[in-house]
Amino acid sequence: MCERSSPVSGSIIANSSSIPRVKVCSLALIVGRECPSKITSCHPEWGECEVRAALGPVSISPHPLIPVWNAMMLLVFFVVVVWLLTEFRHSQKAVGEFSLRSKLAATVAAVALAIAVGVVDYLTGRELVVSAFYLLPTLLVAWVAGRWSGLVVGTLCTSVWFLSDLLCGPAYQHPLIPVWNAMMLLVFFVVVVWLLTEFRHSHYQLEKTVERRTAALQAEVEEKKRLEDVRRTLGLHVGHRVAEQILARDPGLGGTEQQVTVMFVDIRSFTARAANLKPHEARRFLNRFLHATGEAVEIEHGLFGVDSAQHNHADKALAAGHDLERRLERLNSDLARCGEEAIRIGIGINTGRVVVGSIGSPERMDFTVIGNPVNTASRIEALNKTVGTTLLLSRTTRDALRRPILLRALPRQAVEGLEHPLEIFTPDHAWT
């Protein structure tokens, strides 16, 4: 049967005599006018044309914009696929999981929408392509309900399209062409559903990853802030360099045995002096003394030899002792101008192997040194009263010195708790 045709001119002649021929109208046809199904003759004004019967009906679209519309529908398919691919690669925001009720509602809505699009597709016929609208229910259910639901709805949309195409009547040269077209549409839906669900899954995983990394970063920032507070507080008690060394070590209980130099400092007659001071005055006196002399120890790293890379710990301890004496002289000058009594101290330095580390209970720990060299340093400091000096050091400290220093050997002194008298030395305060 001839379909609606627009005015044309000319004729098509079939040369093969073996194929049956039918006469059809081809000249001066009026828009919207149908030709009879069987033609034995034509009006003289129309003329004649001979075509092969195997060519089928002659069909020309009634409107010139229909090919443009069909091309636009194909373009929509490509735009959707490209958009999904680019969003899948450059996703920036994640989405969460939908509830079961939302998934069920989306599925029902998608099925209804697929049927509605199928009805519209049937009513518009083959000439007006609306296949792109089948994407709406497929995308909806794939995004909300997941991949398998999207594939089911995509299959449903393909079936609806195929049924609509069959109901429009035969228009293909081969009966398998509608099946092929349906399979092509199904493949497209499968690809779209896969891309969309992968895109959504990657968004969801990205959100979880960002949440985990944000929580880890926040915990790390809080831990650094806590350690900074500990470092600052600890530095006020033992000095900032010593605090860095302590925090760099294992914070657990126990310690390590190593060679260090220990320095003891004692304020002479402090008990008698504090008895004449009020508590807040005694506190102010000690703070003034420690402020003036503590920097001398801090400059030389405070704990002499605790740092494993520090090999000249004996020299640093002796240098700190000299600096402490000079600072005390300046402090006594200030006290004299205020009419206050001068401060006298004794310094004892000894070198030996001790245990260094955090010692105490898990709830409260102290960073300290333990061993006989510590007790010996205390005994040496007390000998300053006996020999009338301010600074004394042991034989082990003298042997550990790396810089040449003029020292004066003093008579051996018997010390309580030690079997043999101690060899002690005092500097002549003259560097070579």
pLDDT tens digits in sequence order for the chain, 432 residues long: 333 333 433 433 333 344 333 333 333 333 333 444 444 444 444 444 443 333 344 444 445 565 456 546 645 664 565 466 455 545 544 445 567 888 888 888 888 888 887 788 777 766 666 676 777 777 777 777 776 777 777 777 777 777 776 777 656 566 666 666 667 666 777 777 777 777 777 777 777 788 888 888 888 888 888 777 777 766 665 566 666 666 665 555 456 788 888 888 998 888 888 888 888 888 888 888 888 777 777 776 665 555 555 678 889 889 888 888 888 888 888 888 888 888 899 999 999 998 877 776 766 667 677 888 989 999 999 999 999 899 999 999 999 998 888 899 999 998 887 888 899 999 886 333
Tokens of 416: 């309580």
Q: Residue 396: left if φ>0, alpha if ψ -120 to 50, beta else—which one?
A: alpha
Alpha helices in 146-261 (DSSP H): 147-167, 177-238, 240-248
Q: Burial of 165 by CB count in 10 Å (0-12 exposed, 13-18 middle, 19+ buried)? A: buried
CA-to-CA dists, residue 52 to 58, 173, 326, angstroms: 11, 14, 123
The architecture in CATH of the region 250-431 reads: 2-Layer Sandwich (3.30)
Tokens of 334: 């200030």
Beta-carbon count within 10 A of 424 CB: 29
CA-to-CA dists, residue 195 to 95, 147, 421, angstroms: 15, 9, 89
Would you mind telling me the total number of residues written for the chain in this entry?
432
pLDDT number for residue 127: 60
Domain range annotation of the chain: 1-60, 66-210, 250-431
Fill in the DSSP letter of residue 176.
Answer: T
Distance from C-alpha of 138 to C-alpha of 55, rounded to nearest angstrom:
38
Distance from C-alpha of 410 to C-alpha of 389, rounded to nearest angstrom:
10
With 0.75 as the threshold, say if the pTM is over it. Answer: no
Could you please report the per-residue DSSP string of 251-305? Answer: -SSEEEEEEEEEEEEEETTHHHHHHTS-HHHHHHHHHHHHHHHHHHHHHTTSSBT
pLDDT number for residue 15: 39
User: If we measure between CA atoms, which residue out of 15, 5, 7 comes closest to residue 35?
Assistant: 5
Farthest-apart Cα atoms in the chain, separation = 151
3-state SS, residue 401? coil
Cα dihedral across residues 282, 283, 284, 285: positive or negative = positive
3-state SS, residue 170? coil
| 391-394 vs 345-361, strand pairing mode | parallel
User: If we measure between CA atoms, which residue out of 347, 332, 372 comes closest to residue 424?
Assistant: 347
Cβ(367)–Cβ(358) under 8 Å? yes
| 391-394 vs 405-413, strand pairing mode | unpaired
Distance from C-alpha of 320 to C-alpha of 296, rounded to nearest angstrom:
5
3-state SS, residue 417? coil
pLDDT number for residue 44: 46
Tokens of 40: 């034995």
Chain mean position to CA 272 = 62
